[in-house]
Structure 1
Amino acid sequence: MKRISSFPPIIFKDSKILILGSVPGIKSLEMQEYYAHPQNKFWTILFEIFNENLKKNYVEKIKFLEKNKIAVWDVIDSCEREGSLDTKIKNESHNDIAELLKAYPKVQTIFCNGQKSFKNLKKMLGEKPNVSIYVLPSTSPAHAITFEKKLSEWSEIKNFV
């Protein structure tokens, strides 16, 4: 089984929130872009929350994150996985989220994109992290709840930027 690795964080000096996924899927790894699968609703939801038209260009998406003080990373640095499902992840090593938070002290809130990132993060940061942590429904097409339900829960982000 092939070992895969996550991307570096997208973070800015004035980022206030950090959105953590688990690890990039096959399409994201191919494209070298966070949330590149066309059926993943991550970008659609974020742009909708901030009442902006969805940008196709990845550089424009990064500028959108910066403007809205949002950072993006994954909890898993590398792992073995067949396909793109979190349930297939094995032998994972983690990114140093605590060190990132020290380096970017304006980040006070973490939103986990799905249960896998949330469970891993809780293990890493322990019971009393110095930031607020929320778990949101995964934006992956594998997480079968309606777009409207995902959008409603993700809209909470707007209260923290």
Structure 2
Amino acid sequence: MLRGFPPVVAADTHTLVLGSFPGEASLAATQYYAHPRNQFWKLLGAVTGVPALQELPYDERLKRVLSKGIGIWDVLAACHREGSLDAAIRNAQPNDFASLREHAPLLKTVCFNGKTAGRFAEVIGAAGYETLVLPSSSPANAMLSFEQKLLLWQRIIS
């Protein structure tokens, strides 16, 4: 059973970006979105006005994102999976979303990084959060260019 990471949130987090589950590169590095071709940090940097966010050391990236009121987590706490594709996820165990209110009392919006994570939008929305399903930042999602993804990701801050 693979285990994910704890949430990256603060008391003033108002927006949370949820992925599905860390890929192999992320698990090996113990960092969210560690695959070098994943566009997550580049997209988030462009959206938040932090140029070259992806080039900063990981701890600094987290600090910068948190300073913008944005948190990071995954919908799944644990699962079985061969490789990094969401389609290979088996025996999924969701994270404890009830605890979010304790750690991020100002949280209003939950964004989902891709359709797999977006399957939880209805449940999270029913808990009183605004939800937004975004195109996946994964290199496996090559249907949209970076610019096309960015247009949709900019809704995080609107």
Paired positions, count: 155
Corresponding position of 1:113: 113
Aligned pairs for 1:92-103 (under 5 A) are 92-103=92-103
Q: For the Cα contact (< 8 Å) 2:18–2:74, is it kept in 1?
A: yes
Q: Following the alignment from structure 2 to structure 1, what is the Cα–Cα distance between the partners of residues 104 and 51?
A: 28
Q: Following the alignment from structure 1 to structure 2, what is the Cα–Cα distance between the partners of residues 105 and 78?
A: 25
Partner SS, residue 83 of structure 2? coil
TM superposition outliers: structure 1 runs of 4+ over 4 Å:
none
Corresponding position of 2:51: 53
1:149 corresponds to which letter in structure 2?
Q
Corresponding position of 1:17: 15
TM-score, structure 1 length as denominator?
A: 0.91
Q: Following the alignment from structure 2 to structure 1, what is the Cα–Cα distance between the partners of residues 94 and 150?
A: 28
Cα RMSD after superposing both structures: 1.4
Q: Following the alignment from structure 1 to structure 2, what is the Cα–Cα distance between the partners of residues 40 and 67?
A: 22
Q: Following the alignment from structure 2 to structure 1, what is the Cα–Cα distance between the partners of residues 147 and 22?
A: 24
Corresponding position of 2:149: 150
Please list every run of 5 or more consecutive structure 2 residues that lacks an aligned counterpart in the other structure.
none
Corresponding position of 1:77: 77
Instruction: Give the Å deviation of 1:158.
Output: 1.6
Please list every run of 5 or more consecutive structure 1 residues that lacks an aligned counterpart in the other structure.
none
> How many percent of aligned residue pairs carry the same amino acid?
38
